[in-house]
């Protein structure tokens, strides 16, 4: 029962945020306040290495569906409160930030879980719930781009060594959008249609976003519409920002098999639960249809801090680079990387102005990839 119940934590956060919107005043900050709250708890608690004991997929997916549906619903509840005309400018900011944050966590992982399923309904809901972060076509680049090209220069979700969060986010937004629209056009062309024919998912995404913002406007007026647009724009930036931590600096030779070592895992209890195991996703890259609760923590991998902590540290690039990612990559290069990956890593380190930390392992006669995780 425990394994089922823990995934209702994000649902409870969403419901608490909705209650805060209904209450009005400074209670509208409940959603965004959950970010530092869980960051603190995730840093204090030990990593959660447990395996979930779940037998019923139908029951396990109830909170996933709830989180996916509740995220756009929060915008509508916020719009209702804004329509009452009683919120201050600062409280309107709180509405936008709360909607944006909960449009990233838990929506990104819950919608991700749905659009990776074989069910047409699950994929449909997963696709269009993405209105909350202004990208109903995001899954295209994710499935046929990221899952194929992960940890290579072709992957827009894998940040190169030395790149800051600020240098990564903007280009990543542009690249994922371009790849999604281009892939959709290629698919239409293969079916004998025009590259920008009426069946293109971009047009469906525009319709979905227009209807979503229209609903917000009809409920709360122009101010609510402004908050709604601000919320989805902020969420769009945050979505790409969180991708920064999942594969940063990892190396894979193009065409080589994808292995568990090509993923960073964040195994704090709340990192796992709030994100429906998307931070524990090494096995997801080996089988994209694997259900979230069947993903098993990789005990052989390098331990990374809470994903919340990683995000906050990356706001100060020297802190992220020197305290978190360089030590992790030094271990990865010397203990996990193949010989071919080490060559590429060494060149990336040189271009980033990072230390050449391979000499010590080579001088000691340690074979490359000696403790490589499969």
Q: What per-residue confidence (pLDDT) applies to 370?
A: 43
Parse the chain into domains and list their residue ranges. Answer: 2-302
Residue in 7, 95, 96 with CA at minimum distance from that of residue 59: 7
Q: What per-residue confidence (pLDDT) applies to 146?
A: 85
Q: What per-residue confidence (pLDDT) applies to 286?
A: 84
Rounded distance between C-alpha atoms, residue 71 and residue 15, angstroms = 10
Q: Half-sphere exposure of 24 toward its Cβ, with a 13 Å CA cutoff?
A: 11
Highest mean pLDDT among 132-136, 238-242, 306-310: 132-136
Joined together, the tokens standing for residue 214 give 């229209």
Say whether 149 sits in a helix, a strand or coil. Answer: helix
Backbone angles phi, psi at 46, to 5 degrees: -70, 160
Tens of pLDDT, residue by residue over 150-166, are 999 999 899 999 999 99
Region 314-324 average pLDDT: 96
Q: Which range among 66-70, 184-188, 278-282 shows the weakest confidence by mean pLDDT?
A: 278-282
Residue 120 CB burial class (10 angstroms; 0-12, 13-18, ≥19): exposed
Q: What per-residue confidence (pLDDT) applies to 145?
A: 82
Say what percent of the chain tops pLDDT 90. Answer: 84
Rounded distance between C-alpha atoms, residue 203 and residue 365, angstroms = 58
Joined together, the tokens standing for residue 223 give 């101010």
Residue 371 has pLDDT above 60, yes or no: no
Region 95-104 average pLDDT: 97
Rounded distance between C-alpha atoms, residue 290 and residue 72, angstroms = 26
Q: Which residue has the higher pLDDT, 246 or 64?
A: 64
Residue 84 has pLDDT above 90, yes or no: yes
Residue 374 has pLDDT above 60, yes or no: no
Q: What's the DSSP call for residue 256?
A: S
Q: What per-residue confidence (pLDDT) applies to 360?
A: 56
Q: Which range among 129-133, 282-286, 307-311 shows the weakest confidence by mean pLDDT?
A: 282-286
Region 305-312 average pLDDT: 91
Residue 137 has pLDDT above 50, yes or no: yes
Q: Where do runs of H (alpha helix) occur along the chain?
A: 2-5, 9-23, 30-44, 57-60, 62-83, 89-102, 107-115, 120-128, 138-141, 147-149, 165-190, 201-243, 269-274, 307-314, 317-319, 326-335, 339-352, 359-363
Q: What per-residue confidence (pLDDT) applies to 143?
A: 84
Average pLDDT value for the chain: 92
Q: What per-residue confidence (pLDDT) applies to 359?
A: 64
Residue 337 to residues 43, 302, 307, 321, 352, Cα–Cα distance (Å) = 28, 12, 23, 19, 19
Residue 367 has pLDDT above 80, yes or no: no
Residue 87 has pLDDT above 60, yes or no: yes
Residue 361 has pLDDT above 90, yes or no: no
Residue 365 has pLDDT above 90, yes or no: no
Rounded distance between C-alpha atoms, residue 95 and residue 28, angstroms = 6
Give the number of other Cβ atoms within 10 Å of residue 180's Cβ: 24
Residue 48 to residues 11, 51, 298, 310, Cα–Cα distance (Å) = 20, 9, 11, 17
Residue 187 has pLDDT above 60, yes or no: yes
DSSP codes of every residue in 264-312 = --B-BHHHHHHTTTTTS-TGGGT-TT--GGG----TTSPPB--HHHHHH
Region 304-332 average pLDDT: 94
Q: Using 50, 70 and 90 to split pLDDT, how confident is the model at 147?
A: confident
Residue 364 has pLDDT above 80, yes or no: no
Tens of pLDDT, residue by residue over 190-227, are 999 999 999 999 999 999 999 999 999 999 999 999 99
Tens of pLDDT, residue by residue over 29-74, are 999 999 999 999 999 999 999 999 999 999 999 999 999 999 999 9
């Amino acid at each position: 029962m425990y394994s089922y119940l823990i995934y209702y934590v994000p649902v409870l956060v969403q419901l608490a945020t909705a209650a805060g919107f209904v209450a009005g005043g400074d209670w509208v900050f409940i959603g965004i306040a959950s970010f530092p709250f869980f960051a603190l708890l995730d840093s204090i608690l030990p990593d959660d290495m447990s395996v979930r004991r779940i037998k019923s997929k139908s029951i396990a997916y109830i909170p996933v569906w709830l989180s996916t549906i509740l995220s756009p619903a929060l915008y509508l509840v916020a719009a209702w409160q804004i329509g009452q005309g009683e919120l201050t400018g600062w409280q309107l900011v709180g509405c936008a930030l709360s909607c944006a944050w909960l449009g990233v966590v838990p929506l990104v992982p819950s919608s991700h879980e749905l659009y990776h399923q074989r069910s047409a309904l699950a994929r449909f809901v997963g696709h269009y719930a993405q209105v909350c972060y202004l990208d109903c076509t995001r899954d295209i680049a994710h499935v046929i781009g990221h899952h194929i090209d992960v940890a290579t220069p072709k992957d827009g979700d894998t940040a190169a060594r030395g790149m800051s969060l600020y240098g990564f986010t903007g280009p990543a937004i542009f690249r994922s959008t371009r790849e999604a629209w281009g892939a959709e056009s290629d698919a239409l062309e293969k079916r004998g249609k025009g590259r920008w024919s009426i069946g293109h998912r971009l047009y469906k995404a525009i319709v979905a976003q227009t209807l979503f913002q229209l609903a917000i406007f009809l409920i709360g007026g122009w101010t609510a519409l402004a908050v709604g647009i601000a919320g989805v724009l902020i969420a769009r930036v945050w979505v790409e920002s969180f991708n920064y931590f999942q594969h940063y600096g990892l190396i894979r030779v193009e065409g080589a098999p994808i292995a568990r070592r090509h993923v960073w895992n964040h195994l704090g209890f709340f990192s796992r639960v709030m994100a429906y195991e998307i931070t524990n996703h090494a096995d997801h890259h080996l089988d994209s249809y694997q259900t979230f609760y069947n993903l098993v923590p990789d005990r052989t991998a390098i331990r990374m801090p809470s994903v919340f902590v990683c995000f906050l540290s990356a706001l100060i690039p020297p802190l992220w680079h020197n305290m978190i990612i360089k030590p992790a990559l030094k271990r990865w290069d010397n203990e996990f990387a193949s010989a071919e990956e080490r060559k590429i890593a060494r060149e990336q380190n040189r271009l980033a102005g990072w230390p050449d930390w391979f000499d010590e392992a080579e001088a000691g006669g340690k074979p490359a990839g000696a403790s490589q995780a499969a």
